[in-house]
Amino acid sequence: MNKTGIIGAMELEVEELKSKMTVSGITKKAGMEFYEGTLSGAQVVIVRSGIGKVNASLCVQILADIFEVTHIINTGVAGSLNAALDIGDILISRDAIHHDMDVTIFGYQPGEVPQLGVREFTADIRLTELAKSSCEKVNPGVHAIFGRVVSGDQFISDKEIKERLIRDFQGDCAEMEGASIAHGAYLNKIPFVIIRAISDKADDSAQMDYPAFEKAAARHSARLVEDMVQYI
């Protein structure tokens, strides 16, 4: 029996999904509340992990160990690094990289996790295809592309840093959890996908755009997740 863990870093990224699920139990662990039950008829565990890579990693391990989830979806918002991705558009992960992992001094590639042999954590192809078809169904008119998520414990709001993330990582969007979720899913052999709606352009306008658009963007991503879980 499949059971999908759905992670959002912030309450606004999961509140709509929680309001639509049928809850059979709530478990508190590591400061997080894990809502177990069904969503669109599928077994799910929905959780707000908190912001940043440490919170996200802990959350994945709890989903793996305590809830034994078979799949993981990360839903939320991100800053765009790709001129083809405007505010409100959706990025579905092909892969994810830690942009703040740097052991290049010893010959590793930027973002490569030393001694793991992995730089890009690859998303599950079936989950990415499901996400795309659910997006076309429930968000008609919303532009969605496949691409690369780059993550770090940093809100990106500077043109020069943005350009470095594009140059060094060929990132399509920047956020603060995806690569940790991907990394944790990889270590636990759990298929995953990251779905992020664009709330800002990760440049000097991000500080203004983010608060204005985060809610609407988060809703685009959550609506897609609500539909796709039933096909997993």
Exactly one of 95, 112, 200, 227 binds ligand ADE (CB under 6 A); that residue is: 200
Catalytic site residue from 120, 124, 200, 226: 200
Q: By CB under 6 A, is residue 213 in contact with ligand ADE?
A: no
**Contact assessment for residue 88 and residue 213, using Cβ atoms and an 8 Å cutoff:** yes
Q: By CB under 6 A, is residue 156 in contact with ligand ADE?
A: yes
The yes-or-no answer on residue 177 being catalytic is no
In terms of Cα–Cα distance, which of 5, 48, 6, 41 is closest to 22? 41
Among the listed ranges 15-23, 56-64, 131-139, 172-180, the one in contact with ligand ADE (CB under 6 A) is 172-180
Q: By CB under 6 A, is residue 169 in contact with ligand ADE?
A: no
Minimum distance from residue 175 beta carbon to ligand ADE (Å): 4
Q: By CB under 6 A, is residue 150 in contact with ligand ADE?
A: no
The yes-or-no answer on residue 175 being catalytic is no
Contact flags string 106-135 toward ligand ADE, x per CB under 6 A:
------------------------------
**Rounded (10°) angle between helices 53-65 and 178-187:** 30
Residues whose CB falls within 8 Å of the CB of residue 113, separated by 6 or more in sequence, listed in order: 98, 101, 119, 183
**Contact assessment for residue 73 and residue 178, using Cβ atoms and an 8 Å cutoff:** no
Gap between the Cα atoms of 225 and 218, Å rounded: 11
Place of tokens 């990693």: 57
Contact flags string 19-58 toward ligand ADE, x per CB under 6 A:
----------------------------------------
Let me know if 65 is exposed, middle or buried by CB neighbors in 10 A (0-12, 13-18, 19+): exposed
Q: By CB under 6 A, is residue 179 in contact with ligand ADE?
A: no
Question: Reduced to 3 states, what is the DSSP secondary structure of residue 210?
Answer: helix
Gap between the Cα atoms of 4 and 72, Å rounded: 6
Enzyme catalytic residues? 13, 200
Contact positions vs ligand ADE (CB under 6 A): 77-79, 155-157, 174-176, 199-200, 202, 206, 210
